[in-house]
Structure 1
Amino acid sequence: MAAPPVIAVVGPTGSGKSDLAVSLALELDGEVINADAMQFYRGMDIGTAKITMAERRGVPHHLLDILDVTQEASVSDFQQQARDVIDDIHARGRRAILAGGSGLYVRAALDVLEFPGTDPALRARLEADHAQLGTQALLARLQAVDPVSAGRVSDARRIIRALEVQELTGRPFSSFMPRREYYRPATQVGLGVDREVLRERLAVRVHRMVDAGLLDEVRLLDARGLRRGKTASRALGYSQFLRVLDGTSTIEDAAEETIVATRQFARRQLTWFRADPRIAWLDWHDPELVSKATALCI
C-alpha cells in the first residue's frame, strides 16, 4: 500500500501554523515535523515562539531542539533528517505533517532538490582570491563558466559558492536550482493572512516575548556561545537583544527593531510561498479552518 501524501502547513510567521499542524495531527493520526530553522536550537524558545509541551496536546513533534546555538543549521542535513522521519512515521501507519515558515527547508523536504557538497580547501582558496582580486573579478570568472548564475548573484558569498560548486562538480551552480517537482506525493496548506492584522499581531507578539523574558533567554544563550553560532546569532530578536547586553541598544529600541525585522521577514515568506502554485490557501481566521484543511489532506 502506497504511503499517503506528506502534509505541509506553510505561511508567514505568526499565522498559526503550529496550531493548525497539531489540529491536523489530531484529526488524521499524525505527527509533526518542525521546518522552522531557528526552532532547531535548544534554548531558543521565547524568541522563536517554539510550541510548548501543553500546546502540542500530546502530538509527537520531531526535529525540535536538535542543535546547540554554536552549530550551523544545514538545509542538506535537514533534508535527509526530515525524509528519514517521514519514512518512519509512514512506516508506523501515521501521517507526517511538516510545519514551518523556512521556505527552503520545506522545499528541501518535499521537492526534488540536490545539494552539492563543499570543499573547505577550495572555499579557502576562492576566499583568498576574492580578498586579493575583488568581487568583480570573481564575478567575471563565474560569467565565463556559468553565465546563468552570474546573472542571478551579486554578493561575494554567493559568487564564491557558485564557483566552488562549478569547480567541485563540473556542473554549473544554476543546474542545481530547485524544480517544483515533489520528491513524493504531498499536500501543502497555506495560511492566508490579512496583512494589516498580521502587522499588528507581530508587534504584540514581540512585546509578549519581551515580557516573557526574551532578554534573559538571550543572556543565557550568550553564555552558551550564541555569538559563535553563524545561524543562531542572526535569528530575529536574538541579534537585536545581544546589543542590549552590549549596552549599545535599549530594550525598547531592540523590540522595535525586532518588530520591523519580523514584519519584513513575514513579507518575504509570503512572497516565497505565493510563488508556489501547488499550495492550497485557506483563511487563517476561518472558523472552519481545521475541517477545511483536513478535507484537503484526506
Structure 2
Amino acid sequence: MEESKKEKLVVLIGPTAVGKTKLSIELAKKLNAEIISGDSMQIYRGMDIGTAKISSTEMEGIPHHLIDIKEPHESFSVAEFQAVVRDLISDIHSRGKLPMIVGGTGLYIQSVIFDYKFTDDASNPEYRKILEQQAAESGVDSLFQKLKEIDQQSAERIHPNNVRRVIRALEIFKTTGKTMTEYMDEQKQELIYDVALVGLTMERDKLYERINNRVDLMIKSGLLEEVSILHSQGLRDCQSIQAIGYKEIYHYLDGALSLDEAITQLKQNTRRYAKRQLTWFRNKMEVKWFDMTANNEFEEKFNEIYKYIAGKLGI
C-alpha cells in the first residue's frame, strides 16, 4: 500500500508514570484526534485506581475508546485487541478525526500497527485439551516451568498464573516447532498505517520517584477498597487480577504479606515493569523519543512533539 493511501495514525508510548495522559490530551485538542487506549488493563470496569485510568474530568471532552469495555472476569486477547482497534481507526477516520493510540502495552500496540496475522496455523486443539487437563489437575506451575525451559523470553512476559497464555505459548511450540517469541518475531515488520510513533522517556531516578509517588497516591485514593471489592467477589485466576497493583494487594488480603510489604512490592514491580516497557519499545519499534525529565519544559516539549507529528504525517 502506498504511504499516501495508508490511514494516518499517531501512537504515543512510554513507561508508566512518564506523563502520557496530560500530553495526549493536549495533542488531541490540537490534532483534532480521538484517543484509543493501548493499555491492556484499562479495558476492565471497576479497576480504575490501580490502572491509573483517566477520569472523565481529565479527558476534557476528548473521546476515549477501549476503556471500561470488559468485566474483570473476562479475558481479552491480543488478536481481539488488534481487530477492535483496527475497526476503531477506520471509524475515527470516517468522521474526519485523527486516531491516536496512547499506552504502554507493547505487544498490543505492535499487533495493530504491523502486519501481524493471528491465524489457526498454530492451533492444536487436542494438545491444548491435554495441557488444560494437566493445569486443572496439577496446577499451572508445571506448565510454566516447561515454558521457561522452552522460551525464556515468553516466560518473562507471561504471568505464571495466566493459564491461557502459558498454554497458548506451549501450543505454538508444539504445533510449529518455534517458540512464541520466534513465531512473533517472524511476523512481517511492515507498518500498515502512516504512523507517527512518539515515545516519552525520562531520567530513571526521576521516573522511579514518580512511580513511588503514584503508588502512594493510589493507596490514598482508595486502591485497597477497590481491590477488596474484587477480592470479595471471589475473582481469582483471571487475566485482570494478574495486573500490577492488584496481585500485590491480593497477597495482603490473603494474609501472605503485611500492607507495608505489599506496597513495597507494588512499587518494586511497577519500577521493573517500566524498565521492561522501555526495553520492549526500544527493541521492537522505530520510535522517535522525547525526554520529559525537566518539569518546566512541558510547553517546549509539547511544541516539539506536535511539530514532529505534523511533519511526519503531513498535516
With structure 2 as the length reference, what TM-score do the two structures score? 0.81
| C-alpha separation in 2, matches of 1:113 and 1:211 | 41
Corresponding position: 1:91 with 2:94: yes
C-alpha distance in structure 2 between counterparts of 1:199 and 1:154, whole Å? 25
The aligned residue for residue 294 of structure 1 is 306
In the TM superposition, 1:166-185 aligns within 5 A as: 166=176, 174-177=182-185, 178-185=187-194
Residue in structure 2 matching 1:123, options 124, 128, 145: 128
Deviation of 1:250 after TM superposition, in Å, equals 2.1
The number of residues matched between the two structures is: 283
1:1-298 aligned at under 5 Å gives the runs 2=5, 4-117=7-120, 118=123, 120-126=125-131, 157=167, 160-166=170-176, 174-177=182-185, 178-229=187-238, 231-276=239-284, 278-284=286-292, 285=294, 286-287=297-298, 288-298=300-310
Cα deviation, 1:253-298, whole Å, max 9, x if unaligned, reads: 1111000000000000011112245211112244312211111221
Q: Describe the superposition over 1:103-152 as per-residue Cα deviations: whole angstroms up to 9, x where unpaired.
A: 001101111112234554430135668999x87xx89xx9xxxxxx8797
| Cα distance, 1:225–1:100 mapped onto 2, change above 3 Å | farther
In 1, Cα distance between equivalents of 2:229 and 2:52 = 17
Q: Which amino acid aligns with 1:296?
A: Y
1:101–1:157: structure 2 CA closer, same or farther, 3 Å change rule? same
Contact 1:190 1:281 in 2 (8 A): yes
Find the residue that maps to 2:193 and give its secondary structure.
Answer: coil
Maintained 8 Å contact 1:11/1:270: yes
Give the letter aligned to residue 17 of structure 2: G
Cα separation, 1, equivalents of 2:228 and 2:152: 42
Q: Unmatched 5+ residue regions in structure 2? A: 157-165, 311-315
Q: Deviations over 1:136-169 (max 9, x none)?
A: xx89xx9xxxxxx8797679746622235439xx
Contact kept in structure 1, 2:49 and 2:222, CA below 8 Å = yes
1:8 touches 1:186 (CA, 8 Å); kept in 2? yes
Q: Distance in 2 between matches of 1:202 and 1:253?
A: 16
Question: CA separation of 1:31/1:74 partners in 2, compared to 1, >3 Å: closer, same or farther?
Answer: same
Hey, what's the Cα distance between the residues in 1 that align with 2:153 and 2:232?
39
The letter of the residue matching 2:231 is D
Separation (CA, whole Å) in 2 of partners of 1:14 and 1:22: 15
Amino acid at match of 1:253: E
**Distance in 1 (alpha carbons) for counterparts of 2:23 and 2:153:** 36
Q: Where does residue 159 of structure 2 map in the other structure? A: none
Q: Which moved more, 1:177-186 or 1:191-200?
A: 177-186
SS of the residue 2:36 aligns to: strand
CA distance, structure 1, for counterparts of residue 151 and residue 206 of structure 2: 39
Q: Conserved in 1, the CA contact under 8 Å of 2:50 and 2:245? A: yes
Q: What displacement does 1:223 show?
A: 3.2
Letter in 1 for 2:308: L
